[in-house]
Amino acid sequence: MTEFLRCPTHRYDDPLALVWIACAERVGFRIERTPHAYASTDGRGTIFIGTDDILDPDDSLAQMILHELCHALVEGEAGERQVDWGLVGSGGRNPWREHACLRLQAYLADSVGLRDFFAPTTDFRVSFWESLPADPFTASPKEGGRRERSCVAARLAAWRASQHRWAPHLDEALAASAAIAALVPRVKHNANAGPDACGESAMPSLWTKAAEPPARHPAGHAPIAAYHSGRGCTGCAWAFIERRGLRCRHAPGVRLPSDAPACSRFEPADELDCLTCGACCREAYDSVEISKREPVIKRHPTLVIIHDARSKLRRHGSRCAALSGGGTSTESYACVIYDDRPRTCRDFTRGSGNCLDARRRVGLSL
């Protein structure tokens, strides 16, 4: 009998890995495996991920790619053009950048019930990730609350993730991950697993960490947030009434039931505070026009710029020169010309669409 050597024509690939490789490619990155690095980037669009033999047993290529994409979102396009997102040698000095990446990663994974499944396996898992609260964008009041540096950076990154370049591809990859997770049997142990560094003879499958995706909010823009249990749209800063119906500025075309629950973007309307915000006087907007009859022109001439018969408040860098405070995440803001502030400032209403847009631009709102 003649024996034939079979030559395979295809190889098996992890479908979850293919989903996230495709996601990375669609937002502008190439994925390459390498035995010479755990995770790295070249600043020219290539993300290097370690080969399977150097990854931990609870690493997945999908999680590794998601983590690197979160770094890209936190650092922005300028960071994309730098080796390792510009983080080379700065991890110990600037841990807030890694913290921001992990807050965003938890937020995105939470949207499909995969926070535990997509947990990172770096040293930050024990030191930071596992201490994250249910709402990953919150910090203790002592740390600065909503203004804590990594929280602000993570919210700005979440805003970038909602833009056209990213949103459809991230949403598709996350939905596909949840769909795959729903089909995988929850096998408690891997019969082929050998001893690991912790002395376990058979580790549970990582798939057992997958949870049911949270229900989508009636507005459709975010999942219902269990950590806001008992709160609803009627108490949210982003809700408004139009034609006698409750609506949301995140989805203005949708009429909401009066008992609609809070979503992951919920922000208590009664907690908006100008003294802890200052967004409208900072980088959210770049100028304040002043009419000729405004008292501020005569009373505070050093704060006014007059050019081509037009007047506006002077700025120091990205903020209004009349804004004081905010030097730390716990220091209050104040306006030094509050009683004489221009009409533009007087007409700016706390909780208005412009106010919330300003807060989102500086990373205080989603």
* Arithmetic mean of pLDDT, 183-197: 64
Phi, psi for residue 108 in degrees, rounded to 5: -65, -45
Q: What is the pLDDT of residue 189?
A: 55
Q: Cα(248)–Cα(250) distance, rounded to whole angstroms? A: 5
In this structure, the chain runs to a length of 366
277 near 323, Cβ under 8 Å?
no
Q: d(Cα 110, Cα 105) in Å, to the nearest integer?
A: 8
Predicted confidence (pLDDT) at residue 196 exceeds the cutoff of 80? no
pLDDT score of 283: 87
Closest CA to 88 of 76, 74, 99, 98: 98
Residue 117 Cα to chain centre, angstroms: 18
Cα–Cα distance for residue pair 330/139, rounded to 1 Å: 12
Average pLDDT over residues 56-79: 95
Query: Could you tell me the pLDDT band of residue 47, with boundaries at 50, 70 and 90?
Result: very high
Residues 6 or more apart from 141 whose CB is under 8 A from it? 330
pLDDT beyond 90 at 238: yes
Contact between 73 and 161 (Cβ < 8 Å): yes
Tokens of 161: 């993730």
Residue 311 in tokens? 């007047």
User: How far are the Cα atoms of 107, 216, 289 from residue 223, in angstroms, in the given order?
Assistant: 11, 4, 40
Structure tokens at 361: 């631009």
What single letter denotes the amino acid at residue 172? E
Residue 216: its pLDDT value, please? 94
Tell me the percentage of the chain whose pLDDT exceeds 90. Answer: 76
Q: What is the pLDDT of residues 280-325, one digit of tens each?
A: 999 888 888 898 888 999 999 999 998 777 888 999 988 999 999 9
**DSSP string across 5-42:** ----S-----HHHHHHHHHHHHTT-EEEEETT-SEEE-
**Model pLDDT, residue 244:** 87
pLDDT at 71 over 70: yes
Side chain identity, residue 199: G
CA distances from 251 to 25, 84, 241, 284 (A): 29, 36, 13, 22
pTM of the model: 0.90
3-state secondary structure of 324: strand
When pLDDT is averaged across residues 64-77 and rounded to a whole number, the result is: 97
Please list, in sequence order, all residues whose beta carbon lies within 8 angstroms of the beta carbon of residue 65, skipping any fewer than 6 positions away. Answer: 17, 20, 21, 23, 24, 31, 47, 49
- Where do the H-state alpha helices sit in the chain? 15-26, 61-80, 95-110, 124-127, 149-161, 167-183, 296-299, 343-346, 353-361
pLDDT band at 90 (very low <50, low <70, confident <90, very high): low
pLDDT surpasses 60 at 186: yes
- Domains of the chain, residue spans: 15-180, 217-270, 273-349
pLDDT tens for 105-129 read: 999 999 999 999 999 987 888 889 9
Pairing label, strands 39-41, 46-50: antiparallel
What's the pLDDT at 125? 85
